[in-house]
Amino acid sequence: MNEKLDRLLEHLETFLPKPLTEAQWKSSTAFRWRRRDSIFGSIGFLQPVKHVADITFEDLQNIDRQRDAIRDNTKNFIQKKPANNILLTGARGTGKSSLIKASLHEFASQGLRLVEVEKEHLADLADITELLADRPERFIIFCDDLSFEDGESGYKAMKSALDGSVSAQVDNILIYATSNRRHLLPEYMKDNEGYVHSDDGEIHPGEVVEEKISLSERFGLWLSFYPPKQDEYLAIVSHWLAHFGLSASQIEAARSEALVWALERGSRSGRVAWQFAKHWAGSHA
Same domain, 210 and 266: no
Q: How far apart (Å, rounded) are the C-alpha atoms in residues 130 and 137?
A: 14
**Residue 180, pLDDT score:** 78
**CB–CB of 42/17 below 8 Å?**
no
Instruction: Return the pLDDT at 11.
Output: 47
CA atoms within 13 A on the CB side of 178: 21
Q: Looking at the structure, do residues 111 and 178 belong to the same domain, yes or no? A: yes
Enclosing domain of residue 213: 57-225
Of the three residues 225, 247, 274, the one that is the final residue of a domain is 225
Shared domain check, 196 and 95: yes
**Residue 151: per-residue pLDDT:** 58
Positions of the chain with pLDDT lower than 70, given as ranges: 1-17, 37-41, 148-155, 164-168, 181-214, 285
How confident is the model at residue 168, as a pLDDT?
A: 53
